[in-house]
Amino acid sequence: MADQSTPGTSSAREIPSPEASPDVASSNASPKGVMSRRRLLGTAGATGLALGAAGAAVGYTAAPSAEEATPLASVGMDTVMFHGKHQPGITTALQARGHLVAFDLAAGAGRREAAALLRRWSETARRLMTGEAAAHEDTDVARDAGPSSLTVTFGFGHSFFARTGLEKRRPVALDPLPDFSSDHLDKARSNGDLWVQIGANDALVAFHALRAIQKDAGSAARVRWQMNGFNRSPGATAEPMTARNLMGQIDGTRNPKPSEPDFDGRVFVPASGDPEWMANGSYAVVRRIRMLLDDWEKLSGKAQEDVIGRRKTNGAPLSGGTETTAMDLDRTDADGNLVVPINAHARITRPDQNGGAAMLRRPFSFHDGIDTDGVPDAGLLFVCWQADPVRGFVPVQRKLDRGDALSTFIRHESSGLFAVPGGAAQGEYVGQRLLEA
């Protein structure tokens, strides 16, 4: 629903930048007559990136062209590289399954234990992302599957730095987020010393990675919270199209592209950034946003469209045109009323309505059953990426706080902010430049 975005279909693969290290080959040979994972990856195009509106329960992504559709038979072979300039799972197209999990370091664990843990986690991620088994005590859950676009991404929370004696190296951008009027936050499901994002296009592959990461934590860290999500599966539609969220809205129309000159500046910390260990990294805001679906579904289709500012059928702006037509914010009807209401979500979240503030949104939907009141516990696991949350997430969320029509139908139930360092080079582990400086 937001005019800012969700990576759409998961048919696209992540293409490494020129600075990225070579792909790591799987130890399992491809079956005879089947295109290799490396070759398959090399023929794919990069699509499905997202630029996002912060407190929204929705967003928009450009749909890939028909030529970039992923045949179902190839889903298991799709491979994303672990080593590279940036960590995987940021510009990777949305996967069908996802797990978000936060850990707290165990009592007595400090910098040394954290470094050993990140070393283990990085090696496990590298192996699983190429389709190999975990190095120790593999569960065999994903024995019959390929990598299925598996990505594993690691970040550090505000509390991590005090636990490891690294307070002087904590980024200013990691200062706690301000309070917002839409917050109903559960502290037990918020923040954390360490954060891991797992995504894959196969549920068992994603679960396999989750179990391996949890087992690798050993006595060094314990799970603080875990959230599980999903998106549309590759090949689920007759042709590639922009995704829909649980409110039934086209979700991903105004997605930025890496080809845009300001893309990297909005999403990634520059190579000359401060602190130096965050070079080519990003900051992730993670929020569990409950959708009040029973209330939403009582609205007429026209009322839902007025809340969002876009047609439910095809995502076109209420001012006319197609899904990708620029929204005319000044257009009025015969009675002189704005066609796109003044409090429409798509109007409020536009970067040009927020001093250019924008971010890359890459969420998962969730449904955790029916709560004690008999209503769906469902919504969006909101994840947005930006070079600085003070310039990205915060101003947009403050604007939403002041009068977004969608706010009546959503509730922010948990929150976290994490520093996600740049990608690990060959022979490195994620966070090494912080932990071994």
Active-site option among 251, 306, 333, 388: 251
Tell me the pairing of strands 360-361 and 376-386.
Answer: antiparallel
CB 290 within 8 A of CB 413: yes
Alpha-carbon span 213 to 130, nearest angstrom: 16
Asked if 414 and 190 count as a contact pair (C-beta separation under 8 A), the reply is yes
Active site residue 251: yes
Structure-block tokens of residue 48: 């499905």
Q: What positions carry a catalytic annotation? A: 251
